Amino acid sequence: MSDCIFCKIVAGEIPSFKIYENQDYLAFLDIFPFSWGHTLVIPKKHYPWVWEVKNIGEYFQVCQKIAQHYQKTLNQKLVISHVYGEDIPHAHIHLIPNVKNYMGKLNERLGDLRQSQLQPEQAKKILEKLRLS
């Protein structure tokens, strides 16, 4: 879709801070993160919603690979995953590591939990620690 921001990221028209990429999926840092390392995982092919992705098992395996990498790299058990979002109708799963007191805030509006915009210097530090090859 030509007007989809995630499709533009996949096409390289909009820059992103890539955590992981394979032939079918791309994971990159959220630019308005809930926490340090907040990552979005998307299929490269446009699907409006997660439940429309043709090979959803493979999609979740990619998410699992990244989440387990975060667990090991950050030495923590909890990596929250969220499947939500109407703002951008392109399937995406949020992986949110390194969350302190997050569970107690689940009743708050998710938008109220967002931090300030991710800056390139901060993204570089995160990528150095979390990027998968």
- 77-84's contacts with Cβ under 8 Å and 24+ in sequence apart are 78/102, 82/110, 83/50, 84/110
Per the structure block, which two tokens stand in for 49? 């919603």
Q: What distances in angstroms separate CA 15 from CA 34, 105, 129, one per listed residue?
A: 20, 31, 19
Put residue 104 in one of left, alpha, beta given phi > 0 → left and psi -120 to 50 → alpha: alpha
| CA–CA dist 95, 49 (Å, integer) | 16
Residues belonging to the active site: 92
